[in-house]
Structure 1
Amino acid sequence: MNLEKILAISGKPGLYVLKVQTRTGFVAESLADGKKITVNLKSNVSLLSEISIYTYEGEKPLAEIMRKIAVKENKGAAISHKEDNAKLTAYFKEILPDYDEERVYPSDIKKVLNWYNMLQAKGLVTDEAPAVAVEEEVAVVGEEIPVVEDVKAPAKNAKTQK
């Protein structure tokens, strides 16, 4: 599963695909409408590949949980994240029976299901579960982009010499 280029940006709805890294942040494209936005380094951004869910034995990566949802649903859509909390927790218990019910809140379950359904609707659920569609732009992102350091112009001398 490849969720490395999929982002959740705090304060912005939906999921984004990392397109290009810049000196002051990066450019991301919305999965919902395809619009590109610039995100500065001060923004709170989460890579889906770095998110885990608490279990009683430790933590399970989000990619593994999404893979289990894809298997259960035969790569189809999961239940809506708008269902009542009892239905959501029962569904999630089928996917991940040992999840820590004290540390995983219904809001977390809603996010996971909403994210899975977004990826599924965009056709990004493959045999290995959600993955980023391969495009030329995305392939370039995998390469390391050299960072250009700020070059300061020499300070002008306040006094002119005669």
Structure 2
Amino acid sequence: MPFDLKEIASISGMPGLYKIIAPTRNGIIVESLAEKPVRSVAQARNRVSILQEISMYTNDAEATVPLADIFDRIKEKYGTNLPVNAKSSTQELSDFMESVLPDYDQERVYASDMKKLVQWYQAVSQFLPYAEEKATDAPAPEAAPAETTSAEDSDNQEDVKEKKAAKKKA
């Protein structure tokens, strides 16, 4: 997944997204994703949600779609110019979600979830690098079989015999 969301978190009681820097005794040190990043400590009592662990409901009761996959779909379809923002109407947000994730569960994905998705995508796309996936269509180069000459084989066999003989003497 091109956006690396392993160290990006949303913290209850703190606006915006944060990059996790290091653990402390009482919580974690985080740095805000902003023009001028500010470091602070998120206490252990705060609920920290890692973005990589978040997913959205689909109409299939058993399946959800990870947030990173949704971000990839948004990047492919819209790039950084989204047709909606966090202040868009519920209908506009719903249309946007349907264009990105057609089978999202309209009963369990609320307008507030869609607003968060838009805000988070804008922050992530602005402050995190997007790593293009490597082309997997090209066949992998096959490793050439190791060729040994008969002289090398006999040298190797003699080395093995010498080692065995040395072990017997010891």
* TM-score, normalised relative to structure 2: 0.71
Partner of 1:26: 28
**Aligned-pair distance for 1:123?**
4.7
Partner of 1:66: 71
Q: How many residues align?
A: 127
Aligned equivalents of 1:103 and 1:67: distance in 2? 22
Aligned equivalents of 2:116 and 2:130: distance in 1? 17
Question: Which runs of no fewer than 5 residues in structure 1 stay unpaired?
Answer: 129-162
- Per-residue CA distance 1:9-66 (angstroms, 9 max, x = gap): 1111110000011122110000023000101211111000010100012211101101
SS of corresponding position for 1:82: coil
Asked if structure 2 preserves the Cα contact closer than 8 Å seen for 1:93 and 1:99, the reply is yes
SS of corresponding position for 2:20: strand
Question: Which runs of no fewer than 5 residues in structure 2 stay unpaired?
Answer: 134-170
RCO (CA 8 Å, sep 6+): is it higher in 1 or 2?
A: 1
Higher fraction of helix: 2
- Per-residue CA distance 1:55-100 (angstroms, 9 max, x = gap): 0122111011011000001x32323121111011001101000000
Aligned equivalents of 1:122 and 1:77: distance in 2? 15
- Per-residue CA distance 1:110-149 (angstroms, 9 max, x = gap): 1001100111222533435xxxxxxxxxxxxxxxxxxxxx
Partner of 1:121: 126
1:11 aligns with 2:16: no
Asked if structure 2 preserves the Cα contact closer than 8 Å seen for 1:56 and 1:98, the reply is yes
Structure with higher Rg: it is 2
Aligned equivalents of 2:92 and 2:70: distance in 1? 18
Asked if structure 2 preserves the Cα contact closer than 8 Å seen for 1:70 and 1:125, the reply is no
Aligned equivalents of 1:105 and 1:83: distance in 2? 14
| Root mean square deviation, CA, Å | 1.3
Identity among equivalent pairs (%):
39
Partner of 1:77: 81
Aligned pair partner of 2:100 in 95, 102, 112 = 95
SS of corresponding position for 1:125: coil
Aligned equivalents of 2:115 and 2:108: distance in 1? 14
